[in-house]
């Protein structure tokens, strides 16, 4: 559709100009005709009346008795009536005024119309009857002043109509501009709404009922659009939040399924591997008992036995990861007691270059857990923090506090272990709970420590949260639900502090 560039003001102005261009010429010619006719009729009537008066004077007076008197009366006609020609003809004798204009040819009959011959002279011919004498009076009146009056009146009429036309155009422009302002306001607001800005109210001050009703209807539509837009935005935000939550849950589900699959496989392998290790350890131990102390093979068998026992420890960790915790003893546990025990061991066995700091709240709720496995979580996380600093100076901060449950219900207990080590990138964080995944060199780690921690935490009904940045360090937060069936314990002392 072609774009229209004609504004409301231009349309109104064009209509006003067109209407006046049609009406004003007709009005000009109509009024001009009336003015011209009125002047002509007034002039003709005046001329004929004056000529009749002069003819009566010749008939009742003694002007015809003397040539001098006749000339005087004819001169009087020219002087008092703006005449150009005055003549009395009696028989073949002609008497003319001495004041007449030269080279004027008088007609033999009265002019029927004003300025009939185009000579600016109106002639009146009247018969004179005096004392049995027959004469003819011919008077030519000057029509030029009347023609000038007619032209002057026409010019004034043209100026008046021109002034009226100009004023009408100005008024039309002003009124159309005032009328177009509410329309322009409607246009601007409509464009704003079309761009998605629904906040501008449609308020139009106008006395035109149609525009007022239109503005009211548009304002109602705008209000409805605002409500619809707010609802749509809320729904979009809810959908986006649901999508993010769904993606997070799917990610957690995939991770859990992967861990469960690997755990099941690891449990089966561990059982089979354990069946192989039992006779190795048993027969190696029996062989050592039968060998004399000075035997050369004794040291080799001791190495085989030590390696088999390390392998058995690995199998035990695999079984722990695969959640074979049926023999664990779940009870109400005070993590502060477990933390105090773990710190006493860590301060004695930990590297001297690492400082251990604690941040423990005064009152911590009890959790449902196995104390031995809970201690294993603390030692494993702190050991992992020691190793992340790779023998350099650093700080490991162990925290224990109560955290508010945003979902409602029981409080949460948060165990945190932070280190100032080298940290991890996001791709590494996503894989740290996978079995046998490690960033250390061969022989320095089995890759089962964090996997075992993850399995133990989930068996307690808790979750693991990880924050890490390369070059900054890592923070592991273990969140356990409160055991609501027990009371808060008394505060224990953290040994080794």
- The per-residue pLDDT for range 9-28, each reduced to its tens digit, is 778 788 888 988 899 899 98
- Residue 58 burial by CB count (10 A; 0-12/13-18/19+): exposed, middle or buried? buried
> What is the pLDDT, as a whole number, of residue 398?
92
Alpha helix locations (H) across 389-425?
A: none
- Positive or negative: CA dihedral 72, 74, 80, 85: negative
> What is the pLDDT, as a whole number, of residue 80?
82
| Alpha-carbon span 286 to 269, nearest angstrom | 26
State yes or no: pLDDT of 142 exceeds 80: yes
Q: What is the pTM of this model?
A: 0.42
> What is the pLDDT, as a whole number, of residue 1?
38
Q: What is the mean pLDDT of residues 485-495?
A: 55
Place of tokens 């329309």: 183
Q: Domains plus CATH for the chain?
A: 8-166 (3.30.450), 234-324 (1.10.287.130), 327-481 (3.30.565.10)
> What is the pLDDT, as a whole number, of residue 495?
46
> What is the pLDDT, as a whole number, of residue 443?
42
> What is the pLDDT, as a whole number, of residue 489?
55
What is the DSSP code (8-state) at residue 462? Answer: -
Of 195 and 399, more confident: 399
Name the token pair of 18. Answer: 């067109």
**What single string gives the DSSP state of each residue in 254-321?**
HHHHHHHHHHHHHHHHHHHHHHHHHHHHHHHHHHHHHS-TT-TTHHHHHHHHHHHHHHHHHHHHHHHH
pLDDT mean across residues, the chain:
79
State yes or no: pLDDT of 156 exceeds 90: yes
b or e along 299-313 (b: 16 or more beta carbons within 10 Å of the residue's beta carbon)? eebeebbeebeebbe
> What is the pLDDT, as a whole number, of residue 96?
87
What H or E segment, with its residue span, contains residue 101?
none
3-state class of 368 per DSSP?
Answer: strand
> What is the pLDDT, as a whole number, of residue 131?
77
> What is the pLDDT, as a whole number, of residue 160?
93
**How confident is residue 200, by pLDDT bands cut at 50, 70 and 90?**
low
Q: Are 456 and 385 in contact (CB under 8 A)?
A: no
* Most trustworthy range by pLDDT among 249-253, 347-351, 391-395: 391-395
> What is the pLDDT, as a whole number, of residue 482?
87
pLDDT in tens, 223-253: 776 777 778 888 898 889 888 888 888 877 7
State yes or no: pLDDT of 380 exceeds 80: yes
Smallest CA-to-CA distance from 415 within 487, 373, 361 is with 361
> What is the pLDDT, as a whole number, of residue 196?
67
> What is the pLDDT, as a whole number, of residue 449?
66
Of the listed ranges 7-16, 212-221, 271-280, 432-441, the one predicted with least confidence: 432-441
Other Cβ atoms within 10 Å of 129 Cβ, number: 11
Q: What is the mean pLDDT of residues 479-485?
A: 82
pLDDT in tens, 329-342: 788 888 889 888 88
**How confident is residue 259, by pLDDT bands cut at 50, 70 and 90?**
low
**How confident is residue 152, by pLDDT bands cut at 50, 70 and 90?**
very high
């Amino acid at each position: 559709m072609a774009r229209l560039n004609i504004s409301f003001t231009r349309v109104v102005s064009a209509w006003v100009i067109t209407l006046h261009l049609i009406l004003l010429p007709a009005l000009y010619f109509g009024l001009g005709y009336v003015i011209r006719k009125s002047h002509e009729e007034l002039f003709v009537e005046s001329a004929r009346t004056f000529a009749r008066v002069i003819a009566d004077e010749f008939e009742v007076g003694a002007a015809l008795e003397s040539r001098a008197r006749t000339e005087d009366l004819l001169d009087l006609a020219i002087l008092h009536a703006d005449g150009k020609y005055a003549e009395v003809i009696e028989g073949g004798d002609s008497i003319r005024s001495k004041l007449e204009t030269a080279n004027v040819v008088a007609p033999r009959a009265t002019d029927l119309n004003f300025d009939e011959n185009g000579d600016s002279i109106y002639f009146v011919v009247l018969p004179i009857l005096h004392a049995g004498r027959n004469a003819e009076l011919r008077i030519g009146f000057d029509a030029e002043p009347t023609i000038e009056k007619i032209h002057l009146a026409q010019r004034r009429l043209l100026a008046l109509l021109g002034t009226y036309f100009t004023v009408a155009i100005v008024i039309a422009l002003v009124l159309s501009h005032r009328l177009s302002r509410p329309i322009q306001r409607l246009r601007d607001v409509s464009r704003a709404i079309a761009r998605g800005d629904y906040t501008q109210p449609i308020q139009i001050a106008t006395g035109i009922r149609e525009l007022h009703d239109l503005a009211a209807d548009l304002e109602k539509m705008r209000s409805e659009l605002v409500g619809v837009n707010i609802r749509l935005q809320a729904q979009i935000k809810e959908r986006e939040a649901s999508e993010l939550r769904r993606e997070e849950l799917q990610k957690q589900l995939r991770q859990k399924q992967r861990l469960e699959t690997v755990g099941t496989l690891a449990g089966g392998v561990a059982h089979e591997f354990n069946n192989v290790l039992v006779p190795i350890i048993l027969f190696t131990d029996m062989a050592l008992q039968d060998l004399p102390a000075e035997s050369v093979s004794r040291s080799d068998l001791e190495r085989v036995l030590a390696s088999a026992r390390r392998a058995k420890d690995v199998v035990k960790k695999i079984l722990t990861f695969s959640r074979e915790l049926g023999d664990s003893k779940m009870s109400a546990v005070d993590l502060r007691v477990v933390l105090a025990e773990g710190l006493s061991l860590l301060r004695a066995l930990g590297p001297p270059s690492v400082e251990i700091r604690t941040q423990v709240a005064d009152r911590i709720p009890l959790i449902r857990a196995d104390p031995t496995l809970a201690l294993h979580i603390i030692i494993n996380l702190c050991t992992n923090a020691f190793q992340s600093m790779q023998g350099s100076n650093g700080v490991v901060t162990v925290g224990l506090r109560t955290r508010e449950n945003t979902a409602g219900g029981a409080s949460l207990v948060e165990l945190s272990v932070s280190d100032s080590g080298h940290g991890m990138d996001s791709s590494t964080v996503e894989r740290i709970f996978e079995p046998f995944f490690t960033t250390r060199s061969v022989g320095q780690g089995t890759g089962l420590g964090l996997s075992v921690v993850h399995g133990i935490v989930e068996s307690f009904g808790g979750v693991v949260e990880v924050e890490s940045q390369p070059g900054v360090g890592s923070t592991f937060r273990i969140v356990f639900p409160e055991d609501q069936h027990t009371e808060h314990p008394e505060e224990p002392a953290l040994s080794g502090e």
